[in-house]
Structure 1
Amino acid sequence: MTTPLLGQMMDVPLNVSSLIAHAARYHGTTGIVSRRIEGDIHRYTYRECEQRSKQLAQALMRLGITAGERIGTLAWNGYRHLEAYFGVTGFGAVCHTINPRLFPEQIAFIVNDADDRYVLFDTTFAPLVAQLAPLCPNVRGWVALTDEAHLADCASIAAPVLCYETLVAAEDGAFDWPVLDERSASNLCYTSGTTGHPKGALYSHRSSVLHAFGASLPDAMGLSSRDSVLPVVPMFHVNAWGIPHAAPLSGAKLVLPGKDLDGKSLFELMEAERVTFSAGVPTVWMGLLNHVRQQGTRFHSLERTVIGGSACPPAMLRAFEDDYGVRVIHAWGMTEMSPLGTLASLNWEQSQRPREAQHALLQKQGRAMFGVDMKIVGPDGAELPWDGVAFGDLHVRGPWVIDRYFRHDESPLVNGWFPTGDVATIDPDGFLNITDRSKDVIKSGGEWISSIDIENIAVAHPAVAEAACIACAHPRWTERPLLVVVKRAGKTVTRDELLAFYEGKVAKWWIPDDVVFVDELPHTATGKLQKLKLREVFRNHVLPTALGGECGGLGGS
């Protein structure tokens, strides 16, 4: 066997600490702006962020933390949380971001499963920590992300509480980031646990840095040092989609909104800090758009936004682009993918097509970014064609896709590919279109109906604020679609008017059999529609077509 000729390049490991070190050295005066839990605006620079991150690393080592041990965080988007991203991982420990919107029992399971040694928390979560502390006996201490003056907010916690600012102030920051094996663990994120217990995705330094490179590509988030970036997506939700890593890689200004994510608060912060780029889930953007509409104002600096977490309704995409001149980048990914997988961006040829054809592409989840490969497979596991018609189970692979879950010996991979649980099509342009989660697709008379398509049409109606489509049992067709709707404030629409709205937009047998109006829809801790709960609430709902009269299904009249 011939010995390969090796390249003669430096072997420099990809470490997460290199991101903040680069920003501090080459973008040292670029600002990081945070709306603090204490209520004021905090400002400092990347250079100061790295200095304090090093002080945090020293403090944790003084507390006895060693490489590989997990440090949990229960915190909003703020500068102290950002310091934890680098101070924890920089010396080899693992930063474990925890979603505080989960039920306390779920959070306790996650903390115990991760075996967190310390947990850093914002003082708004002090009541939650008071509940968690007795359930998490292996946590050595809870660190309040505040100063001594605000420690009184944590008086209810019957466990050791340390003050973050006191710990950091005791160190000098005279510390060099160690060179770590790039395959060693850096960050730990848990799935939202919609079925069974949440499972951990344990990222490596290598995967995290590669993901940051991928996220920064022009056809992805396209971050640059000229951007002012406001991640609305929480830092406890899959590392804020990689923005805390990609922003320092690019040298972009960071604007961290804290706990106030209502439309008014976000708009005011965006305008004050001249934000050019943002990212978040559709439910957040719904509140922002409503505020802008009600105030009769416009965005003066915002140029583009990534919308992901769940499918972006076409009506929202058009509102941002047509009414406010903000480019929407529709994205798809998942915790198991660090999370970015695809983003909708037009190439030169596609940008020359008629406007409606462009919109049709941008409403999809987009092309795979470099580093991610994808395919759709049928029930027999054979790959299906990229014709935009055939749909099947979506599988992915790549250097930032998990091989197995934390503390799980068995790998979920199928022939080296990760099965996402999504049902999708891929068109000849290579654009992914998620038609449903495999557990949400509606199987009517042996044919599949996309609940996402049904929902997107509903929210395009001017009287509909939000909609969810779920399957209801049917004696003839097995399942038929039920539409659950929240009306816009001050608007009216009837069941029959809404069903008539579908005429000519989908095949007749796709039209829902019934509509139910509710005051609000349940959401998961990451802002996605909680269809499992909806199915429980409406499991005994009787569809009109199940009583005779209308046929529904494939033979619908």
Structure 2
Amino acid sequence: MVQPPLPHDSAGAGVPISNVRHVPLHAHSLLRHAASVHADATITSVSLSGLATRMSYAQLEDRALQHARQLRALGVGTGDVVVNMGVSSAEQLAWLYGALSIGATTHLMNPLLLPEQVLQLIAAAHPSVLLHDTATAQIASAVPAVVHAIPHLNMDAPPKAPAWGPQGSRAASTFSEESPAIVCYSSGTTGLPKAAQYTHRSTVLHAWGCALPDAMALTARDRVLPLMQMFHATAWGAPFVSPLVGASLILVPPSRDPKQWYEWIEAHEATVLGAVTAHWMALVQYMQANKLRFSTLLRTVVGGTRLPEAVARVIAEGLGVEVRHAWGMTETSPLATMERYASNANLLRHGKPVFGVELRVGNECAGARSQRLDELQVRGHWVAHRGDGDWLQTGDWAALHADGHLEVIDRMEDALNGDASLISSALVEFHARRVPGAADAALVKMDSSETVLAWVRHPQADEATVTLALRQMLAEAFGGWTPDHLMAVDALPYTHSAKVQKNQLKPVLAQRLRANAAAH
């Protein structure tokens, strides 16, 4: 096809064309934008005692610049590693943005991991400085035993900015947008946590993806409260998408108390809650028992294990909160897919991928006619990879439907073979928790391929009665299938992200199985 000639002006010259020039994407520019455009929006830090402190985005940027100068004075610069080990707070966030602005890479370390895991991960990071808060000071004091002597700074201490340099100066970012920005670690439910490294570019693009209307749909009118900590995949990106849109941010410490969660939501007028399925199951139970309602909460983004449709219905129709069901993992930064719950839907799946993320099962991409089960694979602008392949192998059994919807069945090591299809361990556990007398439950597939349902007994419940009720409930829900063994336990071991540590539970159950076999 012959292209038409360019338009000419009266002198016969071509019309000048303006070209868009590349401007690098740097994660700390998100805070710079918020400080300029949404300066009055706030970041609230809440302690376990309920004490709350608040600062604006403008104040947060000033604090981040002070911390950047502190790090520079210690010799930390582009390419160096900073370990940031603490619970979510505005001060932790200020140190993170300060490190980002000078090109240092921050490892967000989870202080709730096993002590030997924390020390091993810090030693492998080769940090130039270790940041901790008052809550993690004791753990930090053990670090020199395995790492060369490095400066330790308490993030809760008043900032001590060097005398040199103007108070509000902003140094130009001379490092690449592909430079490492943040390293986060997986939950470690199957062993030593895996590391995922995010770049400046991927962090900004992930924030944009989170803000989309069919993703988290955040605006400057929102007040966002993530129950996940910043060391859990940067609290699902909340500290980056919130300044991008000007939403206020509420940062809370780790807690497993639904009463405390409810009080935080109400006291700080949260409009959006980030929570895993286990959070919501406990919160629904607490609110129903106490006949409570929310006064400000409008929407929740739910991740972690699959949210049962019955629980989504209670949240949406009983509590009046819009449910958005997400799927992702630490390696996907973590947002990959999102689904809005509809009361007329027969099944709550995991939604469709947001722009920037591609999915396939096996070698089959979305839109194919087949809905066969295979391992879910992901690639995209903010997806980390292990090895040289283009696609991240997730370790999840999943199906991709012709309309692009994702349905994650279970972790490949946890899923069970039923008579006609795979059975999700998460759904088995949900049905088990509905049995009166069973306070909690976890289904474990043993090395022998036998299945054990470990359940926590209410103090007043009769073990034999509950065991019979569990078998009847599960047989009805799963076409006659029941676990090989049911065992009452005192408690289940949980991670910081409300996941049962089945790798710790399995040897305890194996020992009991051997003891039972020997007794008979």
Shorter-chain TM range is 0.7 to 0.9
Separation in structure 1 between the aligned mates of residue 455 and residue 49 of structure 2, nearest angstrom: 38
Deviations 1:382-406 (A, max 9, x none): 66986685211110100111134xx
Partners in 2 of 1:515 and 1:387 — Cα distance? 40
Task: Tell me how far apart the structure 2 counterparts of residues 301 and 343 of structure 1 sit (CA, whole Å).
Answer: 23
Distance 2:258 2:191 in 1: 33
Question: RMSD value over aligned CA atoms?
Answer: 2.8
Matching of residue 285 in structure 1 with residue 289 in structure 2: no
Aligned-partner SS, 1:207: helix
> Match for 1:537: what amino acid?
V
Deviates further, 328-337 or 313-322: 313-322
Pick the aligned partner of 1:366 from 330, 351, 359.
351
- Alignment of 1:143 with 2:158, yes or no, is no
2:69 is matched with: 58
Q: How has the CA–CA distance of structure 1 residues 473 and 246 changed in structure 2, closer, same or farther, with 3 Å as cutoff? A: closer
Paired residue for 1:398?
380
Provide the residue aligned with 2:5 in structure 1.
Answer: none
Please state if 1:533 is matched with 2:504: yes
- CA offset at residue 470 of structure 1? 2.0
Aligned partner of 1:289: which letter? V
Q: CA deviation at 1:514?
A: 3.1
Find the partner of 1:486 among 448, 456, 468: 456
Aligned residues of 2:259 and 2:286 also touching (Cα < 8 A):
yes
Confirm or deny: 8 A CA contact 2:379 2:392 kept in the other structure. yes
| Total equivalences in the alignment | 497
Corresponding residue number in structure 1 for 2:140: 129
Give the direction of change, closer, same or farther, for the CA distance of 1:402–1:295 in structure 2 (3 Å limit).
same
2:430 is the alignment partner of 1:456: yes
Change (3 A) 1:445 1:282: closer
The equivalent of 1:154 in structure 2 is none
Which AA in structure 1 matches 2:152?
Answer: W
CA contact (8 A) 1:329 1:344 kept: yes
- Decide whether the 8 Å contact of 2:437 with 2:466 is kept in 1: no
Matches within 5 A, 1:23-62: 23-36=34-47, 40-62=51-73
Change (3 A) 1:300 1:488: farther
- 8 Å contact 2:196–2:330 — kept in the other structure? yes
* Alpha-carbon distance, 1:97 to partner: 0.4
1:112 CA drift (Å): 1.3
Deviation track 1:397-444 (CA, whole Å, cap 9, x = no partner) reads 00111134xxxxxx163xx21100111122333222221211222347
User: Is residue 345–residue 367 contact of structure 1 (8 Å, CA) maintained in 2?
Assistant: no
SS at match of 2:159: helix
1:328 aligns with 2:323: yes
Question: Alignment partner of 1:254: what SS?
Answer: strand
Question: Aligned to 1:47, what secondary structure does the other structure show?
Answer: helix
Residue 52 of structure 1: how far off its partner (Å):
0.9
User: What is the CA-CA distance between 1:207 and the residue it aligns to?
Assistant: 0.3
Specify the alignment match of 2:196 in structure 1: 201
Residue equivalent to 1:299: 294
Give 2:127's aligned residue.
116
Superposition pairs of residues 208-219 of structure 1, within 5 angstroms: 208-219=203-214
Structure 2 residue runs of 5 or longer lacking an equivalent are: 1-16
Cα pair distance change 1:133/1:319, threshold 3 Å: farther
Post-superposition Cα deviations, 1:292-321, rounded to whole Å, max 9, x if no partner, equal 334332111111111212232444323322
| C-alpha contact (below 8 Å) 1:315/1:460 kept by paired residues | no
- For the residues of structure 2 that align with 1:542 and 1:65, how far apart are their CA atoms? 53
Structure 1 length-normalised TM? 0.82
SS of residue in 1 equivalent to 2:23: coil
Q: Which whole-Å CA distance do the structure 1 matches of 2:162 and 2:295 have between them?
A: 38
Which residue, 236, 239, 261 being the options, matches 1:244?
Answer: 239
**Cα distance per residue 1:487-508 (max 9 Å; x no partner):** 4575665212122113443232
Question: What do residues 462-501 of structure 1 show as CA deviations (whole Å, max 9, x unaligned)?
Answer: 5443321122477xxxx34322222457566521212211
State the alpha-carbon separation in 2 of the partners of residues 39 and 444 from structure 1.
47
TM-aligned CA deviation for residue 446 of structure 1: 10
Contact 2:90–2:251 (CA<8 Å) still a contact in 1? yes
- Equivalent residue number for residue 522 of structure 1: 493
Structure 2 SS opposite 1:307: strand
**Structure 1 range deviating more: 182-191 or 393-402:** 182-191
* Per-residue deviation, 1:27: 0.4
Query: 2-side partners of 1:96 and 1:126: how far apart?
Result: 17
Please list every run of 5 or more consecutive structure 1 residues that lacks an aligned counterpart in the other structure: 1-5, 148-163, 405-410, 548-557
Matches within 5 A, 1:217-232: 217-232=212-227
Q: CA deviation at 1:136?
A: 2.2
CA contact (8 A) 1:17 1:177 kept: no
SS state at 1:401 partner: coil
Q: Is the 8 A contact 1:314 1:460 kept in 2?
A: no
Separation in 2, partners of 1:109, 1:358: 46
Contact 2:189 2:502 (C-alpha < 8 Å) held by counterparts: no
Secondary structure of the residue aligned to 2:53 is strand
Aligned to 2:313: 318
Question: What one-letter code is carried by the residue in structure 2 that aligns with 1:391?
Answer: L
2:28 pairs, out of 3, 8, 17, with 17
Are the counterparts in 1 of residues 84 and 96 from structure 2 also a CA contact under 8 Å? no
1:501 to 1:134, Cα distance in 2 relative to 1, 3 A: same
Partner of 1:500: 472
Equivalent residue number for residue 81 of structure 2 = 70
Question: Displacement of 1:22 after TM fit?
Answer: 0.8
Q: Deviations over 1:233-257 (max 9, x none)?
A: 1011111010100000010011112
> TM-score, normalization: structure 2?
0.88
What is the distance in 2 between the residues matched to 1:110 and 1:51?
A: 31
CA contact (8 A) 2:398 2:408 kept: yes
CA contact (8 A) 2:226 2:250 kept: yes
Alignment of 1:422-461 (within 5 A): 422-443=396-417, 448-461=422-435
Q: Look up the equivalent residue of 1:98 and give its one-letter code.
A: M
CA-to-aligned-CA distance 1:94-120 (integer Å, 9 cap, x gap): 121001111111111111111111121
Aligned to 1:3: none
* Distance in 2 between residues matched to 1:486 and 1:295, nearest whole Å: 22
* Within-5 A mapping of 1:134-213: 134-138=145-149, 140-147=150-157, 164-167=158-161, 172-179=166-173, 180-213=175-208
Q: Equivalents in 2 of 1:291, 1:336: separation in Å?
A: 33
Note closer, same or farther for the CA distance 1:228–1:259 as it changes in structure 2 (3 Å cut): same
C-alpha change, 1:253 and 1:384, in structure 2 (3 Å) is closer
Q: 1:449 to 1:387 in 2, by over 3 A?
A: farther
Counterpart of 2:345, as a letter, is: Q
Alignment-mate amino acid for residue 352 of structure 2: R
Q: Following TM superposition, by how much is the alpha carbon of 1:271 offset from its aligned partner in structure 2, in angstroms?
A: 1.2
Q: CA deviation at 1:168?
A: 7.8
**Secondary structure, counterpart of 1:538 in structure 2:** helix
Q: Deviations over 1:436-460 (max 9, x none)?
A: 2112223478974332232232234
Is the contact between residue 37 and residue 122 of structure 1 (CA under 8 Å) also seen in structure 2?
no
Q: Distance in 2 between matches of 1:489 and 1:27?
A: 51
Residues 210-219 or 250-259, more deviating: 250-259
What secondary structure does 1:68 align onto? coil
